[in-house]
Structure 1
Amino acid sequence: MKKTLLATAIAGALGVTAAAQAATVYDQDGTRLDINGRIAMGISGGGHQDVQPGEDKAGGTEFRDVYSRLGISMSHQIDPALRAFGRVEWRFKGDERDQSGGFAEVRHSFIGLESTQFGTVMAGNFDSFYSSRVMSPFDVYIDRGYEFAAGEGSDLQARGDSIGYITPNLQGFQAFLMAKHYTGNGLPETGEDRSSVLNVQGGVTYQWEGLRLAAGFVQDRDDNALSARGTRHRYDSRDLRGVDENIYGATVSYAFNDQFSARLGYETQDTNDSAIDAGGAVEDYSGFSTWGLGATYSLGQLAFNADVYRVRPDNEENRTAWALGSYYKLSNNFDVFAELHRADQGDITVSTADGVSVDENSDNLFWLLGARYHF
């Protein structure tokens, strides 16, 4: 198998550097404990701007943290065919003093069992299987440029109160199933249904030589329990609930050699016409379809990404987004990067002080320069 198949997401060049540089704190009698993480700093500017009167300024030049994190991984080999594992990972802001406790987010916290015969089961707070196993060939950018997974990426019906199962590798085939639970407990009584909600996602992958195929779905329910919890999983982020139509996606990636790989992807969600006919807002229940085409080229310590998307929201104008990235490893622990992203969101109409409506460009070119130290 061509080793750069895993590098479609720059994993070979950058993405797994943290794991590869993990410090083993304890490793004895089948029990292991590793600590790893990264400190990342950068300067960014541009992108979508909130230019309406009264809104916070956005899009200006900013010195910033670029997703620094600290993680602990643990495992125990119960027997030759069964392994228990766990991980907890925190995000912290590394660019400025933080007197609120230091850590900004518990990014991951899960436990699981991995069997060579029966597969892997895990529970807790982890990434969407749909995003990490189906759409992952396009998740190659450190910040912006990933237009799939309904704009939510690893948060899509995931990150907390979840359980998942992955089959063993069966001659290149693997299937997965995952469910996220939203409890109705603690919600105020309003006369509406406060039952618990279970959103399911699943799919299958196939890998042979340099070829990788993947397809899957995610339930995206419209339910009061999700809305009251403030769950953000809509395509355009304007509604806290789902469209109540499934999201479907598929990707094809191929590593031509150890330096060059290409990827093609498609994702879609139907418009919920019945909800709109019942009085629901069009912008809240509209679906979309998105095509993506991209490539990764790596040469030693240097790697490049290039991707273009055609995004077709049902209730808005079509747009063509693109992203570029360049990454250079000075050492196994230290890399520098540069990324560009144009979402092509077009102009928005704003009112001036004298009441005249004008169109202003709310979508400048986003850019990011930075460096990361992995440990």
Structure 2
Amino acid sequence: MKKTLLATAIAGALGASAAAQAATVYDQDGTRLDIYGRIAMGIAGGGPEYDSNNNYERNSAEFVDVFSRLGLRMSHEVSSDLTAFGHVEWRFRGDERTGGGRTSDTDFSGFSETRQSYIGLRSNTFGTFQAGNFDAFYKDAVTAPFDVYIDQGLEFQGHPIQSRGDSIGYITPDLSGFQAFLQAKHYSSRGTNPSEPGQEDNSEIATQGGVKYELEGLRLALGYVDDRDGRAGGSGEMIWGATASYAFNDNFSARLGYETRGNNDDQLAAGGNAADYAGFDTWGLGMTYALGQWAFNADVYRISVDNEDPDNGWDDRTAWALGSYYKLSNNFDVFAELFQGDQPDVTIGSGGIDTADGDDMYYLVGARYHF
């Protein structure tokens, strides 16, 4: 019963209830095809007045698409213990006619992203192997208890971290509550032209792995990400994380998490941005309360950073997030979320005379229809 609460709360926030609403198109002789999706609209506003490159940007209210998507799940029973499966999911912009560029009212490109596309084999005896484009196993196993917000509010690593494309992964079967995972993403240099003959191949493989344990309402997880730089575009340092969550009853669950990264001293000495290469320690504490058709999330984070650079948005901070969700029906829900990232103000422009506010509260309100 207690495990059901945590799963239900996460599903309510992330729209994972789409799985329950999926329509079975075909199911015969062990072969099954489901179609699912959601159309989501909202109004968003606030947040920092600067982007990831410290360029000034307006943060006024806007009518937005809230991660609408369409997906297919496929499976075939090879034997009583082995199932072959496939999964593909697309994102589309549901709030306007353009496909993603907003540059032309005659752009009907439709889908804006292939969000998931992978195949694999699943066995209760030998575990699961899959390959393609999918969410980071680290997120699914370690930071998932905190990934309960529709948009902003997760200060730990999310689904793209050294994942999403050209990846393979393995998850062990459930061993009395224990499961281990290992994933690798390949960054290839095939087809690129070296600057000179004989130059070393700069292909890279970034791995991540860990273990989780579940028993009734208790969930523990520990993992790492080899956040390689170079073609992988990471920090060049290992990221380590651990989370614990517990469902006290059918209405209330709490979560605690920690994540850390070391300094990449070589890149910092060469003039690299502190936000990209400096170390940090992040603590998170949160809770979910569900009652009837309502669900509520509340989380607070303390982020302590090395090599502080507040002028470029890299400083110690305390962030928090709140979310409320109401299910009008099994297919339709409404939501409201707040996020205060506590980002420092930064200087904008070559003269350093303009200041962009990083402390504006972000808000999102809207509704979703699942099918």
TM-score (norm 1): 0.89
Matched with 2:339 is: 341
Is the 1:9–1:15 Cα contact (8 Å) retained in structure 2?
A: no
Pairwise mapping of residues 51-62 of structure 1 onto structure 2 (< 5 A)? 55=55, 57-62=57-62
- After superposition, the CA RMSD in angstroms is 2.0
- Amino acid corresponding to residue 272 of structure 2 in structure 1: A
Q: Say if 2:148 is the partner of 1:177.
A: no
Cα deviation 1:77-133 (Å, max 9, x = unaligned): 111111111010000000011224200000000001000100000000000000111
Sequence identity, in percent?
A: 63
User: How many Å apart are 1:222 and its aligned residue?
Assistant: 1.9
**Residue number among 283, 289, 293 corresponding to 1:291 in the alignment:** 283
Mean Cα deviation higher: 80-89 or 185-194: 185-194
Runs of 4+ in 1 over 4 A off after TM superposition: none
Distance 2:359 2:347 in 1: 13
Is the 1:8–1:261 Cα contact (8 Å) retained in structure 2?
A: no
- Amino acid corresponding to residue 217 of structure 1 in structure 2: Y
Mean Cα deviation higher: 185-194 or 59-68: 185-194
**Residue number among 154, 168, 175 corresponding to 1:146 in the alignment:** 154
Matched with 2:112 is: 104
Distance 2:51 2:219 in 1: 42
Cα deviation 1:307-361 (Å, max 9, x = unaligned): 0000112122210000000000000000000000000002222469xx6825442
**Residue number among 350, 353, 358 corresponding to 1:357 in the alignment:** 353
Pairwise mapping of residues 198-347 of structure 1 onto structure 2 (< 5 A)? 198-223=205-230, 225-226=231-232, 241-277=233-269, 279-281=270-272, 283=274, 284-316=276-308, 317-347=315-345
- Amino acid corresponding to residue 107 of structure 1 in structure 2: R
Runs of 5+ in structure 2 lacking a partner?
Answer: 99-106, 309-314
Cα deviation 1:33-72 (Å, max 9, x = unaligned): 00000000000100011299x9563311000100000000
Distance 1:51 1:31 in 2: 46
Cα deviation 1:250-305 (Å, max 9, x = unaligned): 0000000011000000000100224434x242524211110000000000110000
Distance 2:108 2:346 in 1: 37
Q: Say if 2:343 is the partner of 1:369.
A: no
Cα deviation 1:221-247 (Å, max 9, x = unaligned): 122x33xxxxxxxxxxxxxx2222110
Distance 2:182 2:222 in 1: 12
Is the 2:14–2:150 Cα contact (8 Å) retained in structure 1?
A: no
- Amino acid corresponding to residue 267 of structure 1 in structure 2: E
Matched with 1:233 is: none
- Amino acid corresponding to residue 11 of structure 1 in structure 2: A
Is the 1:51–1:362 Cα contact (8 Å) retained in structure 2?
A: no
Is the 2:44–2:364 Cα contact (8 Å) retained in structure 1?
A: yes
Is the 1:4–1:257 Cα contact (8 Å) retained in structure 2?
A: no
Is the 2:342–2:358 Cα contact (8 Å) retained in structure 1?
A: no
> Alignment partner of 1:263: what SS?
strand
Distance 1:66 1:350 in 2: 29
Distance 2:349 2:165 in 1: 41
Matched with 2:195 is: 190
Matched with 2:103 is: none
TM-score (norm 2): 0.90
Over 3 Å counting, the alpha-carbon distance change for 1:358 and 1:207 in structure 2 is same
State how many pairs are aligned.
353
- Amino acid corresponding to residue 33 of structure 1 in structure 2: L
Is the 2:146–2:255 Cα contact (8 Å) retained in structure 1?
A: yes
Matched with 1:90 is: 90
Distance 1:356 1:62 in 2: 29
Distance 1:132 1:110 in 2: 16
Runs of 5+ in structure 1 lacking a partner?
Answer: 227-240
Matched with 1:77 is: 77
Mean Cα deviation higher: 160-169 or 188-197: 188-197
Is the 1:243–1:287 Cα contact (8 Å) retained in structure 2?
A: no
Is the 2:35–2:71 Cα contact (8 Å) retained in structure 1?
A: yes
Distance 1:275 1:349 in 2: 23
Pairwise mapping of residues 34-73 of structure 1 onto structure 2 (< 5 A)? 34-50=34-50, 55=55, 57-73=57-73
Distance 1:135 1:14 in 2: 14
User: How many Å apart are 1:20 and its aligned residue?
Assistant: 0.2
Matched with 1:27 is: 27
